[in-house]
Amino acid sequence: MSKKDNRRSFLKQAAVSGLGVTVLPGHFLLPSAAAALNTAPSPPETHPPKEAISCWLASSLKRVFPQTPAEATGGLEMVVARNSRVAFQACYHNNGTSPKNISCDLASADTFTPVIRHVGLVPMRHFTPDTVSGELDGTGSIPGLVPDPLFPQTKATADPFESRSFWITLNIPSGIAPGMHDIAVRLSWDDGRKEKVLPVKLHVSRLALRPRENFHVIHWWRGGATWDYYKTEMFDNRWWQLTRAQMADLLDHGTDVAYTPLLFDRKEIFKRPCQLLVVDEPSPGQYRFDWSRVKRFTDMCKAIGFKKFEWTHMWIYWGVKHPMRVYTEKDGRYVMLWPPDISGFSDTYLNFLSQFLPAFHRFLLKENILQDSYFHLSDEPGDQDVENYRKARQILHRIAPWMKVTDALSNIKYGREHLTDIPVPLISAAEAYRKENIPHWVYYCTVPRGSYLNRFFDTPLPKIRMAGWLFYHLKAEGFLHWGYNYWHKVGYDEILDPFTNGDGGCYPGIPYGDPFVVYPGKEGPLSSVRWEVFAESLQDYAMLQSAGIDPDDAMFSDLHNFGDFPKTEDWLDQTLNAVLKK
């Protein structure tokens, strides 16, 4: 192994596993690793207490950093709905000077089909910019290692003077009897000779959750990131297996609309673009379309449980000036059908649309998914792009009158003039739509920051959990996010390691945690703390619907907009109890 490979392996081991680090002769920390680890917990000056391992339970809304102080040993009480999924953490702190192997298991919990995962650590070198400390998690621990990826393991190493945790998920059956149910968490070490048993009391509500209705969620997944990270071939069987696992994970976490990469949606030029539609040009200006890969994908998604589909844009983002990058294969290489900088209103592109859109319509009708499809014109047009957007919309009205348009855009003029059928403003711009009673979805991405809702590495978990409550009370009709598994360097055809790079290589423009919510596991995605808490927030939305709570109920009086709302676990506990104990 080369010295370069040695250093890279060492950094990844330290970042992913959070293992205690010993620098051996001939090895040294990269500057980035040193920065990530410079807040590692200092050994206490006093002698360690008699108990070698401190153990306690915590909710899903507290990050357990290596520097987190041990809490008093105690149990946990949770009020839960039937037909729901809940999570909490079994935490431990090694008070001694030697690493110890620790394991986690549950007793009397088979009814709840528990899943135990270990919370891994990833480096975060800088806080999210433009955000005051009161809106950040991890003060005193960041720069450093942040708990985020969830590894499917019930055993771990408790390193000296560090705190870590296991993430425990319970599935509450719909048919379970309401009332009190007791389970126990056991943490054991020293080959099982020592242990701590912690009680969990589940107050099961009479309320049984029904599926969420009339609020749809989309996350853009990146098929090219999958074959670049795993080093598969394009669309080979391994890729399909991994993609199926990702789509199942999306549905399992509340995303109910399957993004379908019909065309390639990035400005940067990729050697291997993830474009499901096969396009040939047998003669100049004449196109032939092969829908077999598209059908394979939609059939797979239907089998998983998806009923709705989202399709790529017709014009490239930021200005509605240029056409989509449509690729064809020639001599074993993928090349675009036209130069990327031609006009989106050129005869070349209009000729393509006149052949593509009718063929697309026939496919949707044949597959019986037209009425369950969401289409895009162009993403994030600005104030100066209204005329281009209007012109493009007129083209679609003429060639594809069946196509309703959903777009991420914030200028209220687009919604006010009905230039788009479903406007999707940034959450910081959504209040204007709400005040004018314009139906809309919402989105956030790299912005807004500060007081606004988001889900970065340092966004407090109660703040992430408030998403479902805000969506419900503020009457958004859907949510869109760009970063499910964007593991590339943003703006480049270059894969990154998400376990060591959380900003897409673009800080401060891209805050840590924005490009992805899952990590690459051996056979599919590994979830994250943020992804689990966001899913809990969508479950809260379903709970409010199932309980018949009016979106204007007085319990929401402190929820003013997406930047002004309660952000504490106490508020969530009190309000959840008020709903579930009715």
- Taking only the tens place, the pLDDT of each residue in 307-347 is 999 999 999 999 999 999 999 999 999 999 999 999 999 99
pLDDT of residue 30: 32
Q: Tell me the CA end-to-end span of the chain in Å, nearest whole number.
A: 63
Confirm if 177 and 204 have CB atoms less than 8 A apart.
yes
**What is the distance between the alpha carbons of residues 379 and 313, in angstroms, rounded to a whole number?**
7
DSSP string, 107-138: ES-GGG--EEEEEEEEEE-SPPSS--GGG-S-
CA trace torsion 498, 502, 504, 510 (10° rounding): 160
Sort 126 into a burial class: Cβ within 10 Å, 0-12 / 13-18 / 19+: middle
Q: Per the structure block, which two tokens stand in for 131?
A: 């955000």
* φ/ψ bin of 254: left (φ > 0), alpha (ψ from -120 to 50), beta (otherwise): left
pLDDT of residue 74: 83
Q: Tokens 């998983």: give the residue.
A: 304
CB atoms within 10 A of CB 137: 21
Residue 579's closest CA among 261, 203, 214? 203
pLDDT of residue 48: 44
Interstrand relation of 155-158 and 100-107 (parallel, antiparallel or unpaired): antiparallel
Residue 34, classed as helix, strand or coil, is helix
Confirm if 275 and 324 have CB atoms less than 8 A apart.
no
87 - beta bridge partners?
169
Q: Per the structure block, which two tokens stand in for 294?
A: 């598209």
Q: How far is CA 187 from CA 20, 155, 162, 166, 553, in A?
A: 20, 10, 16, 10, 42
**What is the distance between the alpha carbons of residues 504 and 502, in angstroms, rounded to a whole number?**
6
Q: Under 8 Å CB-to-CB from 548, ≥6 apart: which residues?
A: none
Pure H helices in 527-582: 529-546, 569-580
CB atoms within 10 A of CB 387: 9
Q: Per the structure block, which two tokens stand in for 194?
A: 């020592």
pLDDT of residue 492: 96
CB atoms within 10 A of CB 129: 11
Q: What DSSP character marks residue 514?
A: S
Q: What is the pLDDT of residues 17-38, one digit of tens each?
A: 333 332 222 222 333 333 333 4
**What is the distance between the alpha carbons of residues 345 and 191, in angstroms, rounded to a whole number?**
70
Q: Per the structure block, which two tokens stand in for 196?
A: 């701590």
The helices-and-strands tally (H runs, E runs) of the chain is 13, 24
Interstrand relation of 308-313 and 76-82 (parallel, antiparallel or unpaired): unpaired
**What is the distance between the alpha carbons of residues 359 and 302, in angstroms, rounded to a whole number?**
21
**What is the distance between the alpha carbons of residues 426 and 440, in angstroms, rounded to a whole number?**
10
Give Cα 505 distance to the centre of its chain.
18
Confirm if 137 and 459 have CB atoms less than 8 A apart.
yes
Residue-level pLDDT, tens digit, the chain, 582 residues: 443 443 344 334 333 433 333 222 222 233 333 333 344 455 555 554 457 999 999 999 999 999 999 999 889 999 999 999 999 999 999 999 999 999 999 999 999 999 999 999 999 999 999 999 999 999 999 999 999 999 999 999 999 999 999 999 999 999 999 999 999 999 999 999 999 999 999 999 999 999 999 999 999 999 999 999 999 999 999 999 999 999 999 999 999 999 999 999 999 999 999 999 999 999 999 999 999 999 999 999 999 999 999 999 999 999 999 999 999 999 999 999 999 999 999 999 999 999 999 999 999 999 999 999 999 999 999 999 999 999 999 999 999 999 999 999 999 999 999 999 999 999 999 999 999 999 999 999 999 999 999 999 999 999 999 999 999 999 999 999 999 999 999 999 999 999 999 999 999 999 999 999 999 999 999 999 999 999 999 999 999 999 999 999 999 999 999 999 999 999 999 999 999 987
pLDDT of residue 582: 78
117 - beta bridge partners?
167
Q: Per the structure block, which two tokens stand in for 162?
A: 């560090």
Question: What global pTM score does this model have?
Answer: 0.91
Q: Give φ, ψ of 3 to 5 degrees.
A: -60, -40
Residue 404's closest CA among 442, 437, 361? 361
Peptide bond into 508 cis (omega under 30): yes
Confirm if 445 and 483 have CB atoms less than 8 A apart.
yes
Q: What is the pLDDT of residues 420-447, one digit of tens each?
A: 999 999 999 999 999 999 999 999 999 9
Q: Per the structure block, which two tokens stand in for 35?
A: 């920065």
pLDDT of residue 157: 98
pLDDT of residue 14: 37
